[in-house]
């Protein structure tokens, strides 16, 4: 499916990273390890933002094992995926792109296409070429939506690609010792990438970007207060919430619905709290 002329046309002579028009809030979710439900939480935040009447888009940024379309129940639905954006040159028309994407619960979702070099161990050259388009696509969507939710992998190159665009980064970790060990490494890596990107930005910006500290969500069956205190002390970042297992999510997935679609449960409450806190933080910044 070829790109339309309008979609490929940049919004201005310079990229969004220099123009700095007022974009909507961009919230990125990063898993500290596999199986902690980072994609589920990202989807729930997007669904709840839409339910609150905000314009929202969700973007899968994991070419190795991304499954955001599956989380939203859209894997069989027609619409554009990342391969349709391979020839993007300049910041996209975010609303025009959103109109081409599959939609669930009011959320247009940009994901990869199975069997098209996405989720099938893509080669380094393909990933590098894709990363060049990522900032322009995310900036365009963020310009057209009040909230843009990014589902990121732990890979440093992807985090670096959106470091100048994000307003908040949430690292999701489990409560087991190996998971917390991974969280320590991931939080330190994300913090360093964000700081370096913003430090480099100061070289040519009269008004440099404010630093961003990653936030942490702790997921586990039973999380004691002592463990919460330990996480805050060891990771040296705000622990914004803890959440246990939510059986409602299983029922929603079985019915082909995205997380949070029915508006009930612990994950919904967490998503609402995160949305409120993170968007308020972005506005204050």
So where are the chain's domains? Answer: 5-14+21-284
Given this model, what pLDDT does residue 117 score? Answer: 61
Query: Residue 200: is its pLDDT beyond 80?
Result: no
Residues 273, 217 contacting (CB under 8 angstroms): no
Q: Which is higher by pLDDT, 89 or 149?
A: 149
Three-state DSSP class for 33?
coil
Query: Residue 44: is its pLDDT beyond 90?
Result: yes
Integer Cα distance of 6 and 22 in angstroms: 21
Task: Identify the DSSP state of 82.
Answer: G
Q: Which is higher by pLDDT, 175 or 147?
A: 147
Integer Cα distance of 22 and 82 in angstroms: 25
What φ, ψ does residue 54 adopt, rounded to 5°?
-95, 145
Average pLDDT for the chain: 82
Three-state DSSP class for 151?
strand
Query: Residue 222: is its pLDDT beyond 50?
Result: yes
Nearest 10 degrees: Cα torsion 146, 31, 77, 140: 30
Given this model, what pLDDT does residue 8 score? Answer: 37
Query: Residue 218: is its pLDDT beyond 60?
Result: yes
Token pair in block for residue 90: 């300049």
Query: Residue 66: is its pLDDT beyond 50?
Result: yes
Residue for token pair 């109109």 = 99
Token pair in block for residue 83: 């391969």
For the domain spanning 5-14+21-284, the CATH number is: 3.40.50.300
């Amino acid at each position: 499916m070829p790109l339309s002329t309008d979609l490929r046309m940049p919004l201005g002579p310079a990229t969004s990273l220099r123009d700095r028009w007022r974009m909507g809030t961009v919230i990125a979710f990063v898993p500290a390890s596999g199986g902690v439900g980072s994609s589920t939480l990202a989807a729930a935040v997007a669904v709840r933002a839409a339910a609150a009447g905000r314009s929202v888009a969700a973007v899968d940024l994991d070419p190795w094992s991304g499954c955001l379309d599956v989380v939203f129940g859209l894997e069989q639905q027609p619409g554009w995926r990342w391969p349709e954006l391979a020839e993007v040159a300049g910041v996209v028309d975010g609303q025009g792109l959103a109109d081409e994407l599959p939609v669930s619960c009011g959320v247009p979702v940009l994901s990869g296409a199975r069997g098209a070099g996405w989720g099938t161990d893509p080669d380094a050259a393909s990933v590098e070429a894709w990363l060049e388009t990522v900032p322009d696509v995310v900036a365009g969507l963020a310009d057209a939506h009040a909230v843009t939710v990014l589902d990121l992998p732990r890979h440093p190159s992807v985090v670096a690609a959106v470091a100048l665009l994000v307003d908040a980064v949430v690292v999701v970790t489990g409560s087991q010792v190996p998971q917390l060990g991974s969280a320590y490494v991931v939080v330190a890596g994300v913090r360093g990438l964000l700081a370096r990107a913003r430090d480099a930005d100061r070289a040519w910006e009269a008004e440099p970007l404010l630093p961003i500290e990653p936030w942490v969500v702790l997921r586990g069956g039973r999380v004691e207060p002592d463990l919460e205190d330990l996480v805050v002390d060891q990771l040296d970042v705000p622990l914004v919430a803890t959440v246990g297992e939510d059986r409602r999510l299983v029922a929603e997935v079985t019915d082909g619905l995205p997380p949070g679609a029915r508006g009930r449960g612990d994950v919904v409450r967490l998503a609402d709290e995160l949305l409120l806190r993170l968007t308020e933080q972005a506005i204050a910044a």
